[in-house]
Structure 1
Amino acid sequence: MASGAALYATSDGLKRRNFGREDSEIEDIISKTSSLNLADRKMKFSDIWATTNENPESSSSDHIAAGQGNSRYGLFNWSSIIILTAISAFVRLYQISKTNYVVWDEAHFGKFGSHYIQHEYYFDVHPPLGKLLVGLSGYLAGYDGSFAFESGHHFPETLNFQFMRTFNAFFGILCTPIAYQTAVLSGFSKPTVWLITLSVVFEMISLTLAKFILLDSMLLFFTVTTFYCLVKLHKLRLESQSLSKRGLLWLAITGVSIGCVCSVKWVGLFITCVVGLYTIFDLYIKYCEFETNQTSFSTYFKHWIARIFTLILIPFTIYLACFKIHFMVLNKSGSGDGSVSSLLQASFENNSIEGGPRTVRYGSMVTMRSHGLSPNLLHSHPSRYPEGSLQQQVTTYGYKDNNNEFLIEFDLESGNNGEFATYEPLEGENITTRPLLDGDIVRFVHKDTGCLLHSHAIPAAISKSQNEVSCYSSLEASDPKDEWILEIQVQEESPDSFFANESKDEVHPISTNFRLKHRVLGCYLATSGYSYPAWGFGQGEVICKHSFVGADKTTWWNVEDHVNPSLELPEKAYMAPKPKFWKEFIMLNYAMMSSNNALLPDPDRFDKLSSEWWQWPILQIGLRMCSWTSTDVKYFLMGNPVVTWGSTALIGCFVIYTIVLLWLWQRQRIVYHGGILDSVFNQYLIQGLAPFVAWLFNYYPFIAMGRVTYLHHYAPALYFGIFVSGFVIEQALKKLPKLIRLISYAVLYAGIIGMFYYLKDFSFGMEGPSINFQHLKLLETWMV
């Protein structure tokens, strides 16, 4: 270095002196940085995050410290949480028992709680956890489960409905402290934390829903906890603590929260997808570190194992456990028997299965249950298909009635020879009969209408690639397309040795699983898992399907009820095989999926309660939750306009803000020196982008799906819209003078609280004629 300096000095003495100063500065930098390593950088990254998260234009007193080192901030946080939670509790519990009758969907979920208390099996489109909690609230309230929860009916004096509503309200109340802590952990300033939390407190959709026995507060609570866990995992990642004991604990807590939110309603999958997307992002970072030798393969592998166990296995275990408890508690016959397998029904106390004689014979009356995506009973009714053959419809139906009954008749050749099994015998005449055997050719006569189960080369109504199944003609005009070949697949064995010697070639009710092959077309009677529209009463589609795999359960059937007065009953009651949990679990989830798909809007019927997705962010329409007579207390489900309209506008601003950021980054006007580890980028990621993605994931599916929708479906998305709003407002105000910022926040607080106070009767209940509340109509479309 000295010789270089001397050579440079021969040409310019002034530059020689400058070179010497620069040389000494370089040596000083090298000496100061020679001891640094990547581990030190990782250890201090949380400090960088906390530092860069401070607003350089404001004093430190305006911001909440990321850690808990400052006791003054800790005291402020706890006092704020207590105050805001108390306010949240007051507005949600105030006059919660004002209506002593069943309001809106309390008719559904209160009734499901009753079923749990009385142990009666029921069917619903939602997973069990939320309804189990409703049942628990009734049990803790001393409720005996005898009330029918019919809409508009008054609660009996023996039912402590106020306790049940309060139990539900606490899930809504607890969203407040978790929202506050989420905002703190995300690094928002104190005024923004209060803005976000006040918006959650006075957000009127979730506030009103919290006052009744519904699932929405539980769904929102577990959605909120899942997002909080996501923010916590993000912070732990920045601190390189993902595999620490604390990191693994929070991964497990996240898995528990995911399992709970998905076990309340399937829409919990939306926030689960957000966690999954972040996990992919996180593992990509770990992969980059592995590729650049910053971490070992064993450490990278541990990250994968930890996430598979905590974010997949734990949620799935909780989901399974909820169904296990569901089956264990509901051990008596109930309204939902028609939607589950014959084996499960047979295990219920006081079940209604007409097991009848143990061998099914020609001339018997039977009902047949599918093992497929619509595990319901084969059904027909006089209504006809609106297109295709225009013949009588064949469906699957989840309830028991006379239209499920079919008579077993000999094949066409026997009929041509005058041999019938289903005609009433003349006086002194004997009807020939015999057992139904594997490989037999059989016809099925619909008992009520007299037509035969039939198929032909006409496309099915929904599954166009398969053949339509109908009921057609009569025995006198029967043709070969009425014939089916019976193929026995499995004979379930009874645990009672008395039934151990039943013939394997004969059909037995409950225990024999078989397929029915169309003799002419070679296809199999099957269910598609789809449901017919209104013209088919939302019942399951039945098709004739070409299936080359015997294990295809959509083509499997079994006899459930068997009635034949001419046969003797067994000497003792039949003991059915124990139902297999995995099979029942899968079939019930398929049935739930099928029923969800059937929740389509009826174009021929005006539903004054439903609304479209585009109406929610602009609050064009609300929802009347009960009767609207002058003597009733009336509740109108409507969002707080300041919160909802504000979030809608600010989400649009966030999209523009993001586009501008991307343009500036592409033009290299802004540079993230740390790449995806850059503290400024991570601030944008967790404060703005993550809640925006969560809003999108909780909103867009309702745009894409065809099912009927209501305003309350927007509540989870609106929660994340509030966080996006907080981010945009903080970015917009952070460079303004402190006094102007504080005034701006005060105006926003006043707007949120003032608007709620103005519209409070929507949530607290309107007494008297609705004309007295017309001044609350901010839009003409509000049906107040």
Structure 2
Amino acid sequence: MDPTAGVRQRGRKKGDLRPDTPTGLSASEDERIEEKPRKPLIRRDLPETGFKVGLALVTLLAFATRFWGITYPDEVVFDEVHFGKFASYYLERTYFFDVHPPFAKLLLALMGWFVGYDGHFKFDNIGDSYITHQVPYVAFRAMSAIQGALTVPVVFLTMWESGYSLPAALTASIFLIFDNAHVGQTRLILLDATLIFSMACSLLCYVRFSKLRNSPFSRKWWKWLLLTGLSLSCVISTKYVGVFTFLTIGAAVAVDLWNLLDYRSGLSMQDFTKHFFARAFGLIIVPFFFYLFWFQVHFAVLYRSGPGDDFMTPQFQETLADNALAVNSYSVNYYDTVQIRHKDTKAFLHSHNANYPLRYDDGRISSQGQQVTGYPYNDTNNHWVIMPAVPFPEDARTGRPIKNGDVVKFHHVMTNTDLLSHDVASPTYPTNQEFTTVDLEKSYGKRHNDTLFEIRIEGAKSKAELRTLSSHIKIIHNPSKVAMWTHKKPLPEWGFQQQEINGNKNVPQTSNIWFIEDIPSLKEDDPRNTKEPRIIKPMPFWKKYLELQRAMFHHNNMLTSSHPYASQPISWPFLLRGVSFWTKNDTREQIYFLGNPVGWWIASSLLAVLAGIFAADQLTQRRGVDALDRRTRSKLYNSTGFFFIAWALHYFPFFLMGRQLFLHHYLPAHLASTLVAGALVEFVFCVDPADRLTATGNRAAPWLAWIASAISWVLVIAGYVFFAPLTYGKPGLSVEGVNARRWLGYELHFAK
């Protein structure tokens, strides 16, 4: 795939009747071979001055649309509650957890540091006043707005460097400048401005790199290769959906290498190997190490204990200053009375004087044993004594720590019974085992084995001591090898709406983790109350990085709950619904995240048109009809096709995701669709490469292209202005004004 194929002129040799390749990803075989470097054509349609003026104009408009009214509203808007909070944590050096990589959040924190902000405000609620709390919110928003504005000239330069006409470059830029979704999302304290800007830079840098194919391994060739890699690193270091940009560039590189492998390219295998490893170094190794660099900065900055501690293992937490594990962690001994808590749901292991019903709602019969449940509050029914499998002598019961791998019994203090699990189905999970308790006679008699549980401390060495808080444990029923587990779905009325406790056969599952909350029986004169000064424990970078990655992917995959403004990918190109960001009742003002319907519908229609053009061209060639000249077809498939692949690879993968999705996930794909829209202006109105050449070597711009482009610009600008009150949050609209903007039944506020 060659995104700059249209920049060069090539003629088919006389008698050469080979057709272009039908794949749509690369040029024909005779095009792949270039005998010698050729000087690029002078830019067509207008002198270079016209492009420079156009670049200045679109840049000015981009900054104007992003910065106009940036001070309003002076309140927390939508996801500013998250990313503003994270910037504050960075400035306070307090550890937090997020499912996204750190790069864009570090940029926001850097802006806060520039203006002297100390991170005192935590962005807790949408609508909290920035003015009252003296937060430099305009500086934070400016960081996003600058990147959002700079994305526009990058798009213009991408079209220019790809050899498109001025109307084409302006069309792509104007579709982006006056898009309400891009404006709204890139002028708030959010991550998408960094993501989209980095994605656009990746496309531009690769286009520049592709143009230097005739000067391999030159300084400029290396410069643009490495800049492409750095841009890709910024994309993936902002959000993991940046991998779609890697796929886009990777697809183009794969086609490029396939063409270089052709023996007619004149490259020896040694030369091809150099090309392969140069690209692997610039586009994989360099981005990966820069990606790791931002995590190293993340760990270096966040050295204090904070709200993200609970997401990490005790070993990780002990690397943080002021962590509660150091202050409140005690060794757990046999015969201690403890409270056991589930890591994910925070429920205590609990039992009470009530039994399971004879029959459950589905007709299954229970053991009618004493209920064992999860209870969220501190209560004496949460007290359990950890007993040895075989009782110790009376004079040897103190000071005996419990160790990793020990087999123990759990004695419930209030009901004088012992915890038990057996081969009876649990109340709501027929595949899992029931947990109950039995009296002491049975516990030390015929049911003894069923009351034995193994303590497995996660990540600990053999025979490591069990400690409160800092030891994450799995409690494994010794005979059946199931893990004690709970979940948030409440039991019916007979279970007092408490959580079910059952035996999970999937022992490795991370939701099987428990910990000892405290030791209520610990006396003041116990030697364990004497603590040595805290020493922060080191942890290798790779262990911290891999642990954080596991936590990030795990919690990202758990984002499956419903959301009132979530949407499915099938609706995005048609702009069927948006997202409510902010409202103000007394003035009837609102910010509703929504693209410019006119621009989105035109761009989506042109994507369908391009797919139709590809299909029609392939069909006509099959019937021996060659409607396009070779150079036009090359540009259509290699350059416009490159933009189309960028759109497809930033859109279709979302259909495979099971997590919550929102309209803003389509913004990178929408940017690619604007490039396609501009490219089709070139194709439809400037298809003949040999016409209208002036004496200076420049082709006169077809008036029809300017007229058609201008019509689309007017329509897009009109749509932007019409929906601007929903983008900027002002002015407030009357009921009639709100309903006039509910084109597809958008869920706008104040419609009555």
Aligning the two structures, in what range does the TM-score lie when normalised by the shorter sequence? 0.7 to 0.9
8 Å contact kept, 1:255–1:314: yes
Counterpart-to-counterpart distance in 2, 1:227 and 1:451: 65
Q: How many residues align?
A: 679
Residue 439 to residue 116, structure 1, CA distance change in 2 (3 Å)? closer
8 Å contact kept, 1:112–1:131: yes
Partner in structure 2 of residue 232 of structure 1: 208
Counterpart-to-counterpart distance in 2, 1:694 and 1:472: 57
Secondary structure, aligned partner of 1:95: coil
Partner in structure 1 of residue 738 of structure 2: 774
Deviation at 1:341, TM superposition (A): 1.6
Written as runs of structure 1 = structure 2, the 5 A alignment for 1:339-378 is 339-353=311-325, 355-358=328-331, 360-363=333-336, 365=338
Counterpart-to-counterpart distance in 2, 1:76 and 1:540: 72
Partner in structure 2 of residue 277 of structure 1: 251
Partner in structure 1 of residue 544 of structure 2: 584
Deviation at 1:176, TM superposition (A): 0.8
8 Å contact kept, 2:404–2:460: no
8 Å contact kept, 2:434–2:502: no
Deviation at 1:630, TM superposition (A): 3.4
8 Å contact kept, 1:441–1:484: yes
Secondary structure, aligned partner of 1:307: helix
Counterpart-to-counterpart distance in 2, 1:451 and 1:89: 69
8 Å contact kept, 2:725–2:732: no
1:754 aligned onto 2:718: yes
TM-score (norm 2): 0.79
Partner in structure 1 of residue 409 of structure 2: 443
Counterpart-to-counterpart distance in 2, 1:223 and 1:182: 12
Cα deviations by residue, 1:359-416 (Å, 9 ceiling, x for unpaired): 644425376898xxx9x98976899999999986789x9xx999998856225665xx
Partner in structure 2 of residue 646 of structure 1: 602
Q: Among 513, 527, 530, which residue is 1:568 paired with?
A: 527
Amino acid at match of 1:707: R
Deviation at 1:216, TM superposition (A): 1.2
Deviation at 1:561, TM superposition (A): 5.7
Deviation at 1:182, TM superposition (A): 0.4
Written as runs of structure 1 = structure 2, the 5 A alignment for 1:44-83 is 44=36, 46-47=38-39, 50=40, 62=45, 72-73=47-48, 75-83=49-57
Counterpart-to-counterpart distance in 2, 1:211 and 1:541: 49
Cα deviations by residue, 1:132-160 (Å, 9 ceiling, x for unpaired): 11211222222221112121111135322
Cα deviations by residue, 1:30-75 (Å, 9 ceiling, x for unpaired): xxxxxxxx9996364654xx55xx9xxxxx7525xxxxxxxx41x3
Residue 541 to residue 329, structure 1, CA distance change in 2 (3 Å)? farther
| More relative contact order, 1 or 2 (CA 8 Å, 6+ apart) | 2
1:199 aligned onto 2:175: yes
8 Å contact kept, 2:76–2:126: yes
Amino acid at match of 1:143: Y
Deviation at 1:620, TM superposition (A): 2.0
Deviation at 1:99, TM superposition (A): 0.9
1:151 aligned onto 2:111: no
1:655 aligned onto 2:647: no
Deviation at 1:120, TM superposition (A): 1.2
Partner in structure 1 of residue 262 of structure 2: 288
Partner in structure 2 of residue 4 of structure 1: none
Partner in structure 1 of residue 303 of structure 2: 331
TM-score (norm 1): 0.76
Written as runs of structure 1 = structure 2, the 5 A alignment for 1:152-167 is 152-156=127-131, 158-167=134-143
Written as runs of structure 1 = structure 2, the 5 A alignment for 1:312-711 is 312-353=284-325, 355-358=328-331, 360-363=333-336, 365=338, 407=384, 409-411=386-388, 414=391, 434-437=400-403, 439-444=405-410, 452=419, 454=421, 468=432, 471-473=435-437, 479=447, 480-486=449-455, 506-507=465-466, 517-522=476-481, 543-545=504-506, 563=519, 565-566=522-523, 567-569=526-528, 570-575=530-535, 577-602=537-562, 607-631=563-587, 633-670=589-626, 680-711=632-663
Written as runs of structure 1 = structure 2, the 5 A alignment for 1:22-171 is 42=34, 44=36, 46-47=38-39, 50=40, 62=45, 72-73=47-48, 75-149=49-123, 150-156=125-131, 158-171=134-147
Cα deviations by residue, 1:477-498 (Å, 9 ceiling, x for unpaired): 7654442234679767xxxxxx
Counterpart-to-counterpart distance in 2, 1:576 and 1:459: 43
Residue 576 to residue 719, structure 1, CA distance change in 2 (3 Å)? same
Counterpart-to-counterpart distance in 2, 1:322 and 1:540: 41
Q: Among 659, 665, 668, which residue is 1:713 paired with?
A: 665
Residue 403 to residue 195, structure 1, CA distance change in 2 (3 Å)? farther
Cα deviations by residue, 1:187-227 (Å, 9 ceiling, x for unpaired): 21111111111111111101111221111111111111112
Please list every run of 5 or more consecutive structure 1 residues that lacks an aligned counterpart in the other structure: 1-25, 27-37, 55-59, 64-71, 422-428, 493-502, 548-552
Greater shift, 201-210 or 155-164, is seen at 155-164
8 Å contact kept, 1:393–1:470: no
Cα deviations by residue, 1:265-298 (Å, 9 ceiling, x for unpaired): 1111111111122222222222223xx5821222
Residue 700 to residue 148, structure 1, CA distance change in 2 (3 Å)? same
8 Å contact kept, 1:187–1:687: no
8 Å contact kept, 2:483–2:512: no
Counterpart-to-counterpart distance in 2, 1:538 and 1:751: 57
Larger Rg: 1
Residue 142 to residue 609, structure 1, CA distance change in 2 (3 Å)? same
8 Å contact kept, 2:372–2:501: no
Amino acid at match of 1:626: W
1:302 aligned onto 2:278: no
Partner in structure 2 of residue 5 of structure 1: none
Amino acid at match of 2:273: F
8 Å contact kept, 1:367–1:377: no
Residue 249 to residue 411, structure 1, CA distance change in 2 (3 Å)? same
Counterpart-to-counterpart distance in 1, 2:302 and 2:365: 42
8 Å contact kept, 1:360–1:509: no
8 Å contact kept, 2:112–2:140: yes
Residue 758 to residue 615, structure 1, CA distance change in 2 (3 Å)? same
Secondary structure, aligned partner of 2:408: strand
Secondary structure, aligned partner of 1:223: helix
Written as runs of structure 1 = structure 2, the 5 A alignment for 1:246-261 is 246-261=220-235
Deviation at 1:521, TM superposition (A): 2.4
Counterpart-to-counterpart distance in 1, 2:724 and 2:186: 14
Deviation at 1:557, TM superposition (A): 7.3
Counterpart-to-counterpart distance in 2, 1:185 and 1:770: 46
Counterpart-to-counterpart distance in 1, 2:503 and 2:282: 40
Residue 288 to residue 112, structure 1, CA distance change in 2 (3 Å)? same
Deviation at 1:739, TM superposition (A): 3.0
Secondary structure, aligned partner of 1:627: strand
Deviation at 1:671, TM superposition (A): 10
Secondary structure, aligned partner of 2:454: strand
Greater shift, 154-163 or 717-726, is seen at 154-163
Deviation at 1:108, TM superposition (A): 0.9
Counterpart-to-counterpart distance in 2, 1:194 and 1:312: 33
Amino acid at match of 2:407: I
Residue 538 to residue 511, structure 1, CA distance change in 2 (3 Å)? closer
Residue 557 to residue 235, structure 1, CA distance change in 2 (3 Å)? same
Counterpart-to-counterpart distance in 1, 2:382 and 2:61: 59
Deviation at 1:236, TM superposition (A): 2.6
Cα deviations by residue, 1:61-98 (Å, 9 ceiling, x for unpaired): 525xxxxxxxx41x332222111111110111011112
Secondary structure, aligned partner of 2:583: coil
8 Å contact kept, 2:424–2:434: no
